[in-house]
Each structure stands twice: as C-alpha cells, then as structure tokens.
Chains A and B, each alone.
Chain A
Amino acid sequence: MSSVRLRSFTTVALVVALGAARTAAPAAAEPVAAPTCTAEVDAHVVDAGSHAPLAGVTVRNGDTLVGESDAAGHVAIAGVCPGVLVLELERADLGLSLHEVEVGADVATVTVELEVEGLVGETIELVEAPPPPPAMGSTTTLTAEALERTRGRAFADVLADVPGVSLLRTGSGLAKPIVRGQYGRRLLLLVDGVRHRAQEWGLDHTPEVDPFVADELTVVRGAAGVAYGPDAIGGAIIATPPALRRAPGVEGELHVTGTDNGRGGGVAARVNAASARWPGLAAMAWGTARRQAAPSTPDYPLDNTGAAEWSVGATVGVRRGETRTLLSYQRYAAELGVCTCVRTESRDDFLAQLDQATPTGVELYRPDFDIERPSQEVTHDLAIARHERPAGDLGTLRATAAVQYDHRREYDVVRQATTGPQFRFRLLTGDLDVALDLDPIHLDDHLHLRGQAGVVGMAQQHRYGGLPLVPDHVAGAGGAYLVERLVGHDYELQAGLRYDLMHRAASIERTDFLRLVRSGQLAEDACGPLGDTASCASTFHTVSASLGGLYLPRAGWTTRLDLQLAQRPPNPDEQYLNGTSPTFPVLGLGKPDLGAETTVGATASASYQGERLALEVSAYGNRIDDYISFEPAIDASGEPIFDVLIRGTFPRFVTRPIDALFYGADGGVTARATSWLELAGSASLVRARERGSGRPLVFVPPDRFTASATARHPGPWGLGPSYLTLSGTYVARQTRFDPDADLAPPPPAYALLGAEVGVELRADDQTFRVALSGQNLTNARYRDYTSLLRYFADQPGRALLLRLERPVRLPHHRLKECHASHHLSRVPPDLRPVDGRRVRRGRRRRRQRGGGHHHGHPRLHAGRRRSRGDGRGRRSRRRRRRAADDRSARPRPPATTPSRSPSRTGSRTRRRTSPRRSPMRATSTSCSSPAPRWTGRRRPTRAPR
C-alpha cells in the first residue's frame, strides 16, 4: 500500500484511491537515496457528481502538457519525481481546476481519481436527457462532418459506410439498412427516442425517415433488446435530432445538393432559436425537399425510379430549472417510382429475363422525372410530447408520449380505368415510455452504481385495403426494464432485464382464412367461430436480458464482452401473410401460430483510441431458435409446392421457424499517417445458416471491405480548410446461398471507386462549404446481392454530387445574441460532453453529490485554492473563445471511424482524430473578437515532455 496524500482546493473535489495502486515497493529495505523520477501516476478524471469518466480534459503539470484524458478519463503520467505534483485540469466547459498529488519516495505507481466540477461561483448543471441505457455492444456514431458528407442522400445511404451495415436496395432506388445481416423486423429504428412504427416487414418498404432530422446517427450493432425493445435483434439505428438552443439567439443552416445521375437535387434548412425575452423557451423548425429523376446504369436508364421526398418538423421546448417539456411534430412524405424493369407479376416473365443482359423493352426507358405506376406513396407523421423532471432523491423522471401514423399506398400497373392504390396500409400507433434515470450510488471512491428503470406501453391499429396480402389488426403491448451499471476504476459491468407482453388480434377475411387452413398453415378451429371474418388472437410474453463487461487494460484501449438474450414476437405479416408478394413472383403464406424467436448472442470487441490511430474490431455470434424464415414450402415427399393462380404457376413460400446461427466480424480503423493524411478502412463479414442442415440463409450480405484516404489542407490558395478523399469499396460474391430459396444465383463481386473534394469558403463572417463527390467513378456495371433490382437490372453508374452548405445567422439578432452571449459566454450553450448530456451554467444539483458522500470524505476538502493572479479574466477570455470552438467541435469521425458506445464517447476523443474543426457554428458568440475567427485554429499545445 502506497502512502499517498492528496489535497484538493476549495472549489475542486479530489479523491485519492489508495487501494488500487498496482504495486508498492517495499520501503523498509530501501536505503534513502536521491529521489529518482520513476513513479507513475495513473489518473482517472471523473465528474464529481456522477463519477462518469471525463474525456478530453487537458492535464498539465505546471507548464508541461501531460496529455488529454481518454474516453475512460484516463491519463498516465510517467517519470514523476517524489514530492508534490501539481496537476492542472482543464476543459472548456468545466473550467480549470488544480490538484495536488503527493507522491511518496518509495512509490512505484499512484492511482488517483480526480473529481472535476466547475470553478467557484460558476457551477455546472447537468441537464438534458441522459443517454439511453448504455450500449455495451459495438456502436458507430455519425455526426457533424461524417453526416454532412451524406447530405442529399436517402436515409439508408447515409449509413452505407458504417462497418457492419449493408443496404437492401429496392426497386425504387431507395434502400433499407441491414445491420449484421438483420433488417426490417429485426432492426429497430429510433427517431428522437421514439420507436419508428411502420411497415418494416416489406422488403421494398424503405424507412420513412428523413436523415436530415438527425444531427447524430448511431448504429448499434448486435442484439440490444433490453435497451430498445424486444425486436432489436440485429441492432438499432438511433436518429438524434439537434438540441434546442440554450443561449438566446437564432441560428440556422442551409444545405443545397444536386446530382447529375438521377438528375435533381434537394434543399434542407433548419432554424434553431431561443428566446431572450422568455428564458427557457426555445424552438426549432426544419424542412427538406428532394426531387430526383431516374438514374442510369452505365448502359440504360432505370426507367421510373424518380423520387420526390419532403419533410417538415418543428419542436418547441420549455425549460424551467430541471423541468423540461418538449413538443415536437414531424411529417415525412415520399413518392417513389418503382423501376419499370421490375417484373414480378408472372413467374415466367420473371425467370425469362434473368438470363438477359438488359431488361426487355429497354429502348423505351428514359431518365426522366415522371413517376408512373408501379409506384409507392408514403406519409409518416410523428408527434412527440416529452416531460422531464427530478423525481425526489431517486433521479430524473422522463415521460414520452408519441403518436405515429404511417400511411403507405402502393400502385400497381392496372387498366387505365382503375384509379387508386392496389395496396393501402394505415398504421396508427401510440407509444408511452416512462423512464427513471437513477442517480448514481457511490459504493466507494472507485465503485459507482448507475441505473435506469422504465415502463413502456403501446397501442396499435392496422387497417389494410387492397389485393389480398395482410389482415387488419389491433395490438397492445407493455413492458418494463431495469438496467444497472457498475462503474469501476478501469472496468464496468452491466446487467439488464426486460419483460414485454404483447397481445394482438387479427381480423382475417373468410376466403383468406380458408386458404390458410387448406394450405395447412392454420388449424380450422384456431380462431374460434368463422363468420365473414375470423378473429385470430395471440399473446406473446418475451424476455430480454443482457450481461456485459468492459475492461480498460491500458490507456486508449477498451475491451468488451457482451451477452444478450432477446426474444421477438412474430410480426403480423409473418403470422398472416396471404397473397402474392409484391416483390417476388411467389405466393406467400404466413403461419398464425408462430411463437417468439429467441436469440442468444455474444459480442466481443476491442477498440483503441489514440492520437493517431482509432480502431474497433468486434466478433459476434447469435444463435436464434425458432428464427422465422420465409422459405419455399416443401410437401411430404420433399418436393417444392407450386400453386396455380390465374397469372400462372407460383412457388409457394411460407414462414416457418428454423434454428439459425448468425456469426461474423466487423471493424474499422482510421489512422493519421501524417498531419495531413488520414487513412481508413473497414470490413464486414456475416455468416448465417440453418443449424443442423447447414443450409445458408437468403439475403445475407456478402463480405464487404472499404478503404479510403483523405488529405487535408488548412487552407490552400487563400481558401479555408479543404480536403480530398479517395475511397474504394469491394464487395465479394456471396458464395453461401441456397439455390432453392432464391430465384437467381448471386451476382459477381464488384469494386467501386469514389472521390470527394471539399472546400470551405468565407465571406465576411459567414462560412460556406462546397463539396463535389463522385460515386462509381469507373462507371462499373454491377449488381448487388442484397438488391431487389439485381434480378432485373444493373445498379446506377457514375454519379456526381454537388453539395453546398452554409450556416445562416440572422443579422438583426446578432446584437441581441452578443448581449446574451456576453453573459453566457463562458459556457457553450450547446455543448455536448461525455454521456451526451449538455452542460449549462446554473446551480448544480445538490443531490448529485450523493447524499453527503463526498462531503464526508476526510480527504476531500483538505486542499487550498491556489491563486492564479489574473487567471480569472484570462481564463474567461480563453474559455469564451474555446466555448465557441467547442460548439463547432462536434465529433466528426470519418464514417468508417469506429467509436465507442455513446455513453463512453466524449466529443473530445473523437475530435482528436480530425484536425480540422467544423466551421459551421463557429461564427457565433464571438462578440469580443470582432475579426472573423479563423476556424481551423487549434489551441496551441505545448509539446509533451
């Protein structure tokens, strides 16, 4: 046991860990000699209230820069001489604090925990929604630049470069995301914390979400049932909208995009304002519109794949103290043409054109804007009301009520006299989610317990009209969960448990019911008496559980092991599908008595985040019992069953439970080779088969590899920061497939080349960003295994995309804002530090101090405040300046940059991987410096010793 004594200053709490010192040299035998500077200090910077690790805190020893704390709050200081070590800890939003660490002469390693809070008289309040229950699996978050680079693309395309993500392209040119081989029903989408409720089951139903809604998109790979709901077997995609402004003022952004292949473009704009007259009142509004003609393959246009999309939304929030209320509404609408080349009405037609190099009748195809039949029209409305308030000594209570209406209409090719859609789905869902974020319990200096508990409820009504396909249904569901997280010095344990109950009653037409009975999918007496309709009810009890561990073996490294149990009830379509599928020339039949499918999975991952290198690798395995599969029906003698319909002979496909195994690995690496060159790569491998027979499952993405090189320049030829990226994608041929379950063999492997050049322009104090990107530059002719278009046509050829982005600051608000920001300048109004929480000036919540735990600590307040001379004023200036920087310094990893779970990823850690700062909001709050601030500036750092 080492003898270490620490002091803290009046404004700073400092905790020493005595027990965790790894070694303690035996003192008795050693002669007293001249001090040798060989001691190591293993510092752990944590938030004084929550004990959450603080990333991005600059640590200096006197004038010598020691380093910056990593995502786990670690800083290692080597070569420390015995005596008193004065550590300066600073982060813009937390201010400067000084800590003294006494290092005994006979000590090899000192482990200290440095608690940081604001300066005296400047308290920090942690408000805003806490992070979702921590995701222990592997995640990737797209923010700022990575997201900006995708503006102008549809939702799924934004995620295309994330490791582990593939796209299931539809005949309309849009796509569905696939995460580790799972999509649709098994992949959750959360928009502003609310589950997206739509017709995810359809292979050709793309997500009804505009990616511009989010300023942060997180992909959670692997089962996350406890955190997000019973059907997050493949993972979750979380779209987080930007926060409302805190500092009074108005800001906005405008994006304009245009493309040449699939001529067209889009605009997106957002305004974010906070009232000066009514403090705490803030609002945000956004809108997007995109219109695109049909793109062309290298040889011919993909006729009728034009698209028109728009979305609008607004959010109003009121904040009073720690109580917050928020109302939000958004609507997404799209009209999508389905390629004329898609022919699924007759099996003979379908098979006949499989052998053709070009679609039949291609000479009539035009790259025009017209959207004709077949086409889809969708609108999705989402209204959210959220209220958050302290719940006594327990923690913070957050209640969210949401109503969603998803209206999908699909238009088939029909006679001219017929109008209206042939398939019409109306899904109305109400969700209620009440969560209690428990205040941390400090078990001892190094051990803290954090938890979240919640209950959810859902009511749903589905009405369907049109050709026989799926029935109407009503459903109700409820669930409860508890997640506890034990946070230690260099490890974390997490356990979660969730229970869900769902009841669903489907109303099946008499003829459809009889067909299900005839085909053996349903027992005749399964649904009670049969009138004009049969009412088939089912109830599902599902349990999800998770157990995870995280260990930080050394600075920068994180290792994780995560075990998951998740159960998913079948979707209504899996139970009651009854008709020819709109996407394939097959007759699909559901199985009403399906049970829940059960996933048992494990994910192991390791990540490293350093100055020059960031990487994450994970491997996973999921064993799914009663995996609901859509497969060819086999008769008693093992022969496939065909049904003769009026349009010809169709193979019968049925949903049936099989035992499946999914496993694979994915990862990415980003390296800063030099100060200006950044190299990145990623790989995604998925394997899936039926256990026992070893038969491969369909639509499992083939192996995929990406590589990119980005060169950056702080400002060539008098321009602003610029970059040039070259990227390559290689997708292997899927060699594991079941020829009986698919209608055509997988297409060959392909490689694509892309490039992007971007530059920042400045005029007065406004910033413009212009980027030109090219996709499929070699004009390669290729087909994608996970594309519904692959049976009919090639993917689009070379495309150029021009992107223009500028922030907008309304002039007549500038004065007012400057006035306001003068008061608030020292805290960035919209800063997002560790844990995704925001920091605001104000009174610190007393109860965060944990019931006197710290006050009672004998060593806590034994220190003294150290004078900094003019420090106050100097700091203020510096912090004001950096506050503005911080607003602009949202993490912007390249899309392939692996990152950690949201709860562990501080913005600073990711910032370090990108030398250039976003200029987007950098022009604000600089009242004290009238000259335009150059945004590429970094705070001068002293060289490490």
Chain B
Amino acid sequence: MDGPAATNPGAALTHAYGDTDANGLPIGLDSDITAVAGTGNLTVTLRHLPPVSGAAQKVAGLAEQVAADGINALPGETDASVTFPVTVAAP
C-alpha cells in the first residue's frame, strides 16, 4: 500500500483520499485505490479524534504523520483496526 498514510513505493495498492470534511481535511470513507499485481496488507483504521479542550485534534498532515511514525503516533484512539491480506493477480 502506498499513499498519504503509507510510504511503500511500488506497492500493489496505491491509495488516495476521495473525500474531504467541512474543514477541507480528508476523511477516507471515499477512497480511490489503484491496483497493480502483487501482494501486501491493507489496514483500515477508524480513529476518533475528538476535540480536546475545545481545540480540534484533527488537523492537516495526520496522514503524513501516520506514514512517518505509525498510527499510534496520532492523538485520539482507535475504534476499529482491521488488516486484510491482499493479493492482486496479474490480469
């Protein structure tokens, strides 16, 4: 998987956010995934980021932070985290 939240150039799946919220930040309910032949793991995480002391925890650059330091470096907490092994067969 390669994309904003994971840096794996040449991975079987390439991901791009297809939606934004009112603040112009990506959500991920709608995603564009491009596939090439190969195998790997696809992890889908639902993370809640409630405001803390009235300030939003969801800010720009979170996906990039996940790519750099992993999902646990984010504030907030994981509600669901499911990893799918993916095999994309050559056409």
Given contacts A348-B72, A361-B52, is CB(A647)–CB(B79) below 8 Å?
yes
Question: B81, A346: Cβ atoms under 8 Å?
Answer: yes
- Chain A 48-84 interface mask (CB, 8 Å, partner B; 1/0): 0000000000000000000000000000000000000
Which residues of B from 54 to 74 have beta carbons under 8 Å from A? 54-55, 57, 70-74
Check: B53 CB closer than 8 A to any chain A CB: yes
Bound complex: CA A413 to CA B50 (Å): 8
Check: B18 CB closer than 8 A to any chain A CB: no
Check: B78 CB closer than 8 A to any chain A CB: yes
Bound complex: CA A370 to CA B73 (Å): 26
Bound complex: CA A345 to CA B55 (Å): 21
The residue on A at minimum CB distance from B80 is A646
Question: B79, A345: Cβ atoms under 8 Å?
Answer: yes
Check: B38 CB closer than 8 A to any chain A CB: no
Given contacts A361-B52, A361-B57, A364-B53, is CB(A349)–CB(B77) below 8 Å?
yes
The residue on B at minimum CB distance from A366 is B53
- A648 / chain B contacts, CB cutoff of 8 Å: 78, 81
Check: A415 CB closer than 8 A to any chain B CB: yes
Check: A845 CB closer than 8 A to any chain B CB: no
Question: A365, B53: Cβ atoms under 8 Å?
Answer: yes
Least CB distance from B8 to A in Å reads 20
Check: A417 CB closer than 8 A to any chain B CB: no
Check: A373 CB closer than 8 A to any chain B CB: yes
- A360 / chain B contacts, CB cutoff of 8 Å: 73-75
The residue on A at minimum CB distance from B56 is A364
The residue on B at minimum CB distance from A373 is B50
Check: B82 CB closer than 8 A to any chain A CB: yes
The residue on A at minimum CB distance from B83 is A648
Check: A353 CB closer than 8 A to any chain B CB: yes
Which residues of B from 13 to 54 have beta carbons under 8 Å from A? 48, 50, 52-54
The residue on B at minimum CB distance from A359 is B75
- A413 / chain B contacts, CB cutoff of 8 Å: 48, 50, 77
- B72 / chain A contacts, CB cutoff of 8 Å: 348-349, 351-353
Question: A370, B53: Cβ atoms under 8 Å?
Answer: yes
Given contacts A364-B55, A365-B53, A415-B48, is CB(A348)–CB(B75) below 8 Å?
no
- B77 / chain A contacts, CB cutoff of 8 Å: 343, 345-346, 349, 413
Bound complex: CA A353 to CA B71 (Å): 12
Bound complex: CA A304 to CA B50 (Å): 13
Least CB distance from B77 to A in Å reads 4
Check: A684 CB closer than 8 A to any chain B CB: no
- Chain A 385-416 interface mask (CB, 8 Å, partner B; 1/0): 00000000000000000000000000001010
- B50 / chain A contacts, CB cutoff of 8 Å: 373, 413
Bound complex: CA A352 to CA B54 (Å): 25
B contacts with A, residue count (CB < 8 A): 20
Question: A364, B81: Cβ atoms under 8 Å?
Answer: no
Question: A647, B74: Cβ atoms under 8 Å?
Answer: no
- B71 / chain A contacts, CB cutoff of 8 Å: 348
Given contacts A340-B52, A352-B72, A373-B50, is CB(A364)–CB(B78) below 8 Å?
no
Bound complex: CA A372 to CA B52 (Å): 9
Check: A756 CB closer than 8 A to any chain B CB: no
- A303 / chain B contacts, CB cutoff of 8 Å: 52-53
- B57 / chain A contacts, CB cutoff of 8 Å: 361, 364
- A353 / chain B contacts, CB cutoff of 8 Å: 72
- A343 / chain B contacts, CB cutoff of 8 Å: 77
- B74 / chain A contacts, CB cutoff of 8 Å: 360
- A646 / chain B contacts, CB cutoff of 8 Å: 79-80, 82
Residue in contact with A365 in the complex, picked from B52, B70, B73, B80, CB distance below 8 Å: B52
Question: B53, A348: Cβ atoms under 8 Å?
Answer: no
- A352 / chain B contacts, CB cutoff of 8 Å: 70, 72-73
- A260 / chain B contacts, CB cutoff of 8 Å: none
- B53 / chain A contacts, CB cutoff of 8 Å: 303-304, 364-366, 368, 370, 372
- B79 / chain A contacts, CB cutoff of 8 Å: 345, 646-647
Question: B78, A348: Cβ atoms under 8 Å?
Answer: yes
Least CB distance from A519 to B in Å reads 22
- B78 / chain A contacts, CB cutoff of 8 Å: 345-346, 348-349, 647-648
The residue on A at minimum CB distance from B76 is A361
- Chain A 323-343 interface mask (CB, 8 Å, partner B; 1/0): 000000000000000001001
The residue on A at minimum CB distance from B75 is A361
Bound complex: CA A303 to CA B57 (Å): 14
- Chain A 91-127 interface mask (CB, 8 Å, partner B; 1/0): 0000000000000000000000000000000000000
Question: B52, A647: Cβ atoms under 8 Å?
Answer: no
Least CB distance from B85 to A in Å reads 14
Bound complex: CA A373 to CA B51 (Å): 10
Bound complex: CA A351 to CA B77 (Å): 12
The residue on A at minimum CB distance from B69 is A352
The residue on B at minimum CB distance from A413 is B50
Bound complex: CA A351 to CA B70 (Å): 13
- B80 / chain A contacts, CB cutoff of 8 Å: 646-647
Given contacts A353-B72, A360-B74, is CB(A348)–CB(B48) below 8 Å?
no
Bound complex: CA A349 to CA B53 (Å): 21
Least CB distance from A362 to B in Å reads 9
- A340 / chain B contacts, CB cutoff of 8 Å: 52
Least CB distance from B43 to A in Å reads 11
The residue on A at minimum CB distance from B52 is A364
Bound complex: CA A567 to CA B77 (Å): 42
Bound complex: CA A366 to CA B53 (Å): 6
- B55 / chain A contacts, CB cutoff of 8 Å: 364
- Chain A 302-327 interface mask (CB, 8 Å, partner B; 1/0): 01100000000000000000000000
Bound complex: CA A351 to CA B86 (Å): 27
Bound complex: CA A405 to CA B37 (Å): 64
- A366 / chain B contacts, CB cutoff of 8 Å: 53
Determine which residue in B73, B77, B80 has the highest number of CB atoms from chain A within 10 A of its CB, and name it.
Answer: B77
Bound complex: CA A437 to CA B58 (Å): 66
- A365 / chain B contacts, CB cutoff of 8 Å: 52-53
The residue on A at minimum CB distance from B74 is A360
Bound complex: CA A345 to CA B77 (Å): 7
Bound complex: CA A199 to CA B81 (Å): 32
Which residues of A from 272 to 308 have beta carbons under 8 Å from B? 303-304
The residue on A at minimum CB distance from B82 is A646
Bound complex: CA A352 to CA B69 (Å): 11
Bound complex: CA A348 to CA B69 (Å): 13
Bound complex: CA A415 to CA B78 (Å): 13
Bound complex: CA A360 to CA B82 (Å): 23
Least CB distance from A345 to B in Å reads 4
Bound complex: CA A891 to CA B57 (Å): 53
Bound complex: CA A340 to CA B73 (Å): 15
Bound complex: CA A646 to CA B81 (Å): 6
Bound complex: CA A346 to CA B82 (Å): 12
Given contacts A348-B71, A349-B72, A370-B53, is CB(A647)–CB(B48) below 8 Å?
no
The residue on A at minimum CB distance from B77 is A345
The residue on A at minimum CB distance from B81 is A648
Least CB distance from B27 to A in Å reads 14
The residue on A at minimum CB distance from B49 is A361
Bound complex: CA A353 to CA B69 (Å): 12
Least CB distance from A22 to B in Å reads 73
Bound complex: CA A361 to CA B55 (Å): 11
Least CB distance from A294 to B in Å reads 9
Determine which residue in A343, A346, A348, A413 has the highest number of CB atoms from chain B within 10 A of its CB, and name it.
Answer: A346
- Chain A 646-659 interface mask (CB, 8 Å, partner B; 1/0): 11100000000000
Contacts beyond the supplied A345-B78, A349-B78, A364-B57: 7 A-B pairs with Cβ under 8 Å: A304-B52, A304-B53, A348-B71, A349-B77, A352-B70, A352-B73, A361-B76
Complex A-B: 11 CB contacts under 8 Å: A304-B53, A340-B52, A346-B77, A348-B72, A349-B77, A349-B78, A351-B72, A360-B73, A361-B57, A365-B53, A647-B78
Query: Chain B: residues with CB nearer than 8 A to chain A?
Result: 48, 50, 52-55, 57, 70-82
Q: List 7 A-B pairs, minimum CB-CB distance, nearest first.
A: A361-B75, A352-B72, A346-B78, A366-B53, A364-B52, A345-B77, A646-B80
Query: Chain A: residues with CB nearer than 8 A to chain B?
Result: 303-304, 340, 343, 345-346, 348-349, 351-353, 360-361, 364-366, 368, 370, 372-373, 413, 415, 646-648
